Structure 1
Amino acid sequence: MKTIKIHSIISCLFIFGLFSCNQKKELKAEKTTTIPTEIKLDLLDLQQKNKLGKDTIVTIVNDPVYHKAKKYKGVSAVAIIKNEIDLTKIDPKNTKIVFECIDGYKPEMPLELFLSAKPYLAFEDMDAPKGKQWETILKDGNEMNAAPFYIVYPSVSEKDSQYKWPYNLIKIYLEPLHKSTLELYPLKDRKLEAGYNLFQKQCLTCHSLNGIGGTMGPELNYPKSVTEYWKEKELVDYIVNPASFRHKVKMPTLGLSQQQSQQIVDYLKYMSENKKKN
């Protein structure tokens, strides 16, 4: 009888321990689940409701947009996100932050990287001319305005391309990290991965493919692919040097080689056979 009791006790302890471990795993998983769909923050709406938080003066040693030292009034971007979103239920390693600007520019970066950089949401330019809220941005012969918001990083090098400095900003999204990867990756031809990677890095912030990406430039695949109405050689040359085709063109010179441009065009040709309206 004693032996049976001992076995019963051991069995109970084992089952209890197993339940406790599983319970802990479930709780941990519940706290750090990957975001299933996008979460959107309307920054203008938060400003109107006085929900941006306490402002401070932010100094940027070498601003990558104005190319000089700048001072702004801003609020902690991390604090805004934490106040509006329960980050204990999101896994930052598997989530990305997407920035939506008025002009359609839509850059993105890993959420974990963004949070660790301690960025600020600037809403006023302290160096602006008298009577103005922002100093005018001059880029490729075009004048632009940073209003209403501009993401800045006091402790990040302006040369580090991992970090995005979107101005003209109005909304922030949180999405699954690999959302565009799953939709746009060339699964049927892995040799096109180089072109895919270049497109992701250089083009997707301004242009969309199958409805995924920025809207600053035109959609490149739906209903007609750009490869269906541009001559291939001219399209390759245009991507390398847009200004050689159009005066005051908005598309910047990306510093791509002829070979890299061809890789992007080869990828776009593949996508022309994989159209999907999102």
Structure 2
Amino acid sequence: MMRSTLWMKWFSVLCLLCVWSVNASSAKLVFSEEGETVNALTLGVMKKQLLTHQIDIYDPQYKKNKRYLAFALHDVMALAYGKSWESKLSTDVKFVALDGYQAVSPFDKLLEQGGYIVYRDAEQPDWELIGHNQSNPGPFYMVWTGNKQTPKQAYPWPYQLAVIDTVEFKNQYPALYPQQVKETTNVFAGFKLFKDRCMKCHALDQQGGKVGPDLNAPMNILAYRSPEILREYIRQPSKFRYTQMPDHTDLSFQQIDSILEYLAYQGKAAKR
């Protein structure tokens, strides 16, 4: 009787593992161009057609060393878009997470070595929870192995990755791009910082991230928050309240002021 009970327990565990394996293999990553889907790859397909790498990195999201099973980003892009994916004329690549988080990265960064699409934590049977909300980062998590390829250096590290989209920034985000502004101005410098740091979570006129509030609609944030308070808040929101927004203490006040100049410019542009 005891042997039979023990066998039933092992059989139940085996069934659960099989279900987990099937569900994990059916996890899907969608690829598009300017919002139009061109491919969708399941984890099972990628495992069959791509080389799996074991990578050991310091993960700035967890703030500790981690070991992952992953596919090289270049291999994934070639499988999804074709071997000539590097020759595409898009200016940027958008990474969209399940919760609406959007990381937009210049195409040039993706041409660098060091990017990986993680599909499993190699040190434990399930994903370790991540972030302020203690979210499951699966089914896919993008990481980088270079010491300087960090989120603060504007390299995308989205977890719960669902969609990779190649885009022309001006076409995809006309409400964010500062039209008729010279690239040597503070406004354009602020735009670049907003693109790298802020639009992952925030939108302007409903274009951009969906995690944080829209900063230009229905009213520009500078219409109801003083530049002095915003300057301090952008630099260190953790000093004000518990929030998902990260600190940006590496930014100078001059850089933050350029973000505020950009936001002011976009607020005036929206009224034209």
Q: Normalization by structure 2: what TM-score?
A: 0.71
One-letter code aligned to 1:65: Q
Match of 2:260 in 1: 265
Match of 2:245 in 1: 251
Q: Measure, in 1, the Cα distance between the counterparts of 2:238 and 2:72.
A: 38
SS in structure 2 of the partner of residue 60 of structure 1: strand
Q: Measure, in 2, the Cα distance between the counterparts of 1:51 and 1:91.
A: 22
Distance 1:192 1:75, change over 3 A: closer
Q: Deviations over 1:197-221 (max 9, x none)?
A: 3222221222111233221211111
Determine if contact 2:94/2:164 at 8 Å carries over to the other structure. yes
Match of 2:59 in 1: 63
Match of 1:195 in 2: 190
Determine if contact 1:119/1:151 at 8 Å carries over to the other structure. yes
* Greater shift in the superposed pair: 187-196 or 224-233: 187-196
Structure 2: 5+ residue stretches without partners: 1-31
Q: Measure, in 2, the Cα distance between the counterparts of 1:55 and 1:68.
A: 26
Match of 1:103 in 2: 99
Q: Deviations over 1:227-251 (max 9, x none)?
A: 22223332222212212222x2111
SS in structure 1 of the partner of residue 268 of structure 2: coil
Q: Deviations over 1:166-194 (max 9, x none)?
A: 21211111112554686522526845223
Q: How far has the Cα of 1:158 moved from its partner? A: 4.7
Match of 2:110 in 1: 114
Q: How far has the Cα of 1:150 moved from its partner? A: 0.7
SS in structure 2 of the partner of residue 218 of structure 1: coil
Distance 1:213 1:41, change over 3 A: farther
* Greater shift in the superposed pair: 206-215 or 172-181: 172-181
One-letter code aligned to 1:149: F
Matches for 1:183-262 after TM superposition, within 5 Å = 183=175, 184-185=177-178, 187=180, 190-246=185-241, 248-255=242-249, 256-262=251-257
1:165 has 2:160 as partner: no
Matches for 1:115-130 after TM superposition, within 5 Å = 115-117=111-113, 119-128=115-124
1:144 has 2:135 as partner: yes
One-letter code aligned to 1:37: E
Q: 1:174 aligns with which of 158, 166, 169?
A: 166
* Greater shift in the superposed pair: 180-189 or 201-210: 180-189
Distance 1:67 1:235, change over 3 A: closer
Q: How far has the Cα of 1:66 moved from its partner? A: 2.5
Match of 2:22 in 1: none
Determine if contact 1:150/1:165 at 8 Å carries over to the other structure. yes
Match of 2:81 in 1: 85
Q: Measure, in 1, the Cα distance between the counterparts of 2:62 and 2:200.
A: 20
- Identical columns (%): 28
Distance 1:262 1:111, change over 3 A: closer
Determine if contact 2:91/2:167 at 8 Å carries over to the other structure. yes
Determine if contact 2:141/2:161 at 8 Å carries over to the other structure. yes
SS in structure 1 of the partner of residue 270 of structure 2: coil
RMSD of aligned residue pairs (Cα, Å): 3.1
Structure 1: 5+ residue stretches without partners: 1-34
